[in-house]
Structure 1
Amino acid sequence: MKDKRVLFVSSEVVPYLPETELSSTAFLAAKNAHSKGVQTRIFMPRYGVINERRHQLHEVIRLSGMNLVVNDIDMPLIIKVASIPKERMQVYFIDNEEYFKRKAVYTDEDDQLFSDNDERAIFFAKGVVETVKKLNWAPDIIHVHGWMASLLPLYLREFYKEEPLFTESKIVTSLYNNGFEGDLSADMSSKIAFDLNESDKISTIQTPNHTNILKSAIENSDALIHGSEDISEELTTFIEEKEKPSLGYQVENLKEAYLNFYADLLSDNQ
């Protein structure tokens, strides 16, 4: 895997957010690949709870400045970067004041999901792709972590399917049991349909709950990883039905297991 390119796209990454199974695993997967000579890029949302001064985030003017259309409305894209101390790894932050400035990640002070979480996920997916296009950096592997990032496989397979930068990329999605109760906006599928037109893949998220959002990621990925020990039986069955390559939950051997899994996927592509 040395000199291969792996794009890590995660809802959460330490040290920028508190340590969870998701934020820690996303960081470790990138760190381990980087230590083996893999070229890495990490993307995450720039939530308002992230302390920009402490983590030394700064805007990249040459990457910022474009507008992304979400539900027929132009939303400015701001790109910030920081380096993880001691690791020499750059993290790119997808930012927009309306979507990410608030001092919370997914829920308000009453622990209710933000009503625009669907649009935030759409903006994040499109922001990652448009920024990677500006970088002109063609990834061999795209590894997705967390439900806020889980629209990326759908957008890559449908909205950006003619984009040559990603035609050889293999998409891997890690599944975690960090779900949310209830549904996102009832209009989510129609907002995605604005971009994807008549794609039958939108039907998977007609009811935009956590399980269906992950099902969409599963059906648009090349392979899956169990990021948590306990994945719902419904999702496990769905993976088996789709006959996708999958890697079981890893505790001790995450470093080698992930890299070997990437390498096997790429060798199948030869």
Structure 2
Amino acid sequence: MKKVLFIASECVPFIKTGGLADVVGSLPKCFDKKYFDVRVVLPKYMCMKEEYKSRLEYITHFYMDLGWRSQYVGVLGMNYEGIQYYFIDNEFYFAGPRPYGNIYEDIEKFAFFSKAALSILPDVDFRPDIIHCHDWQTGLVPVFLKDQFSDNEFYRGIKSVMTIHNLKFQGVWDVKTVRNITGLPAYYFTPDKLEAYGDANYLKGGLVYADAITTVSATYAEEIKTPFYGEHLDGLLNARSNDLRGIVNGIDYDEYNPETDAFITKNYNIKNFRKEKVKNKQALQEELGLEKDDKKFMIGVVSRLTDQKGFDLIAYMMDELCQQDVQLVVLGTGEERYENMFRHFAWKYPGKVSANIFYSEAMSHKIYASCDAFLMPSLFEPCGLSQLMSLRYGTLPIVRETGGLKDTVIPYNEYDGTGTGFSFTNYNAHEMFYTIKYAMSVYYDKRREWNKIIDRAMAADFSWKASAAKYEEMYNWLAPGK
């Protein structure tokens, strides 16, 4: 039986700000319990939902050194859907309305969390063969494992994996402060270890000291070895390329299932979508005050409204797009200029554009189920989950060929009748617009072809099972014979 410990800063259903939480919440459930005992360590945030906080059971508490401080570490536990979760309690660090705040506070908070996650293991009587760390918040775990825990027999031989969900976020602060917080000796703060461009970098520490590195798609694993996508760590990632692999994320096929989804107006499946799917479009047009016309080409966007997601391209073409025979439904929050841009076009074209500048789980499901196409023109996209959800609902993705979008959306080829969506290569507004128009022409003029693309999209399998098998293979490679 192989023992694996996930350490992460967020996890569905307890706390979520992005796709990382979906991964940490879904993946552990997918391993074969005969061969893998997978457990998860999380912070006990004050802003967690009360329904989960009230179910936590006290396990133990102790005090731990962090640099020159002595800090309280409370340990609570909960078994949820067959997985054992441990929550680390310290109100000084984990109070507040959101899981993340000012970076200088987060730098100390996650140094504490990383060390505490290792420190609790003897007390909860769990010695993992592999510790799987996620993003910069846990970057110090492999470092502490090699440093302050290496003398302890209990921790010897534990392997570590570092998963990059988004390389843009690295946990960077000045060396003096990080040394003071962590208590790590000067030895660790050199350019071949934690230091990068004069500062201390948590993610870099994890990437240097982890036994294996993964990221969330095969294409992104290649892209981050180049200067454009490498966020100044491309040199290190090239040096460690033998230990780097890309494993695409999955989605929870129970939660995102058009046949059983309680959020949508009319359930449907791969057999009856030709008749039933359109009823969701009619209901959404009614709800959002759009022109009622179920033949109208409806494009959905569910996203953070940021540059990374390609909204500068959309902004550039928005007037021209609104001249077309389309409807556009947008859901999300983000940079003020994009929020206001969509509000402006919703005011200018009231029957065509619906700007929903908030986030709602129910509305996101309705958009996946109702729209004909889903637009995702990202500048970079480590994996992306929205395109997987739209494929599942038979809403055809229009994406830029980058990262996980390139790996999961097969572009439609009219000559050999293959493909599950539409894609363009260059980060170029006119190329995006041309691809949207091409998709629209297939929708309006070749309806049978369009429905065949939906057949293939809904038949694609991006459940967690396939990804879990690849993680299992990596664990077996890291810790053979267990």
TM-score category of the 2 structures, normalised to the smaller one? 0.7 to 0.9
TM-score if structure 1 supplies the norm length?
Answer: 0.83
The 1:244/1:169 distance shift into structure 2, 3 A limit, reads: farther
The aligned counterpart of 1:96 is 90
| 1:140 lines up with 2:119 in the alignment | no
Greater shift after overlay, 181-190 or 128-137? 181-190
Per-residue CA distance 1:221-248 (angstroms, 9 max, x = gap): 0001113664432434412213542221
C-alpha separation between the residues in 2 aligned to 1:119 and 1:237? Answer: 27
Q: Secondary structure at the match of 1:199?
A: helix
The aligned counterpart of 2:470 is 257
Q: Is the 8 A contact 1:179 1:210 kept in 2?
A: no
Alignment of structure 1 residues 1-270 onto 2, 5 Å: 3-18=1-16, 20-33=18-31, 35=33, 37-61=35-59, 63-64=60-61, 66-84=62-80, 87-107=81-101, 113-177=102-166, 179-180=168-169, 183-184=172-173, 187-192=176-181, 194=183, 196-201=184-189, 204-206=193-195, 212-227=201-216, 230=220, 231=224, 232-233=229-230, 234-251=232-249, 252=462, 253-267=466-480
Q: Is the 8 A contact 2:178 2:200 kept in 1?
A: no
C-alpha separation between the residues in 1 aligned to 2:12 and 2:167? Answer: 16
Greater shift after overlay, 16-25 or 116-125? 16-25
The 1:17/1:142 distance shift into structure 2, 3 A limit, reads: same
Q: Of the two, which has the highest radius of gyration? A: 2
Per-residue CA distance 1:42-81 (angstroms, 9 max, x = gap): 00111221124345442424x21x1122231221111122
Greater shift after overlay, 20-29 or 146-155? 20-29
Show structure 2 runs of 5+ residues with no match: 250-461
Per-residue CA distance 1:156-214 (angstroms, 9 max, x = gap): 011111122221211011011174498446643322562x3343356644469999321
TM-score if structure 2 supplies the norm length?
Answer: 0.49
Greater shift after overlay, 35-44 or 215-224? 35-44
TM-fit CA distance, 1:141: 1.0
What do you get for the CA RMSD once the two structures are aligned?
2.8
Greater shift after overlay, 178-187 or 125-134? 178-187
Q: Secondary structure at the match of 2:27?
A: helix
Q: Is the 8 A contact 1:116 1:185 kept in 2?
A: no
Greater shift after overlay, 39-48 or 23-32? 23-32
The 1:79/1:208 distance shift into structure 2, 3 A limit, reads: farther
C-alpha separation between the residues in 1 aligned to 2:199 and 2:468? Answer: 28
C-alpha separation between the residues in 1 aligned to 2:49 and 2:173? Answer: 27
Q: Secondary structure at the match of 2:48?
A: coil
Structure 2 counterpart of 1:215, one-letter code:
K
The 1:72/1:244 distance shift into structure 2, 3 A limit, reads: farther
C-alpha separation between the residues in 1 aligned to 2:103 and 2:34? Answer: 39
Structure 1 counterpart of 2:151, one-letter code:
E
TM-fit CA distance, 1:265: 1.5
TM-fit CA distance, 1:34: 5.3
Q: Secondary structure at the match of 2:111?
A: helix
Which 4+ stretches in 1 moved above 6 angstroms?
A: 208-211
C-alpha separation between the residues in 1 aligned to 2:139 and 2:214? Answer: 13
Show structure 1 runs of 5+ residues with no match: 108-112
The 1:261/1:58 distance shift into structure 2, 3 A limit, reads: same
The 1:55/1:169 distance shift into structure 2, 3 A limit, reads: same
C-alpha separation between the residues in 1 aligned to 2:190 and 2:22? Answer: 31
C-alpha separation between the residues in 2 aligned to 1:24 and 1:60? Answer: 26
Q: Secondary structure at the match of 1:155?
A: helix
C-alpha separation between the residues in 1 aligned to 2:6 and 2:115? Answer: 15
Q: Is the 8 A contact 1:56 1:82 kept in 2?
A: no
Q: Is the 8 A contact 1:189 1:205 kept in 2?
A: no
C-alpha separation between the residues in 1 aligned to 2:125 and 2:171? Answer: 38
Q: Is the 8 A contact 1:173 1:224 kept in 2?
A: yes
Structure 1 counterpart of 2:87, one-letter code:
F
Structure 1 counterpart of 2:78, one-letter code:
A
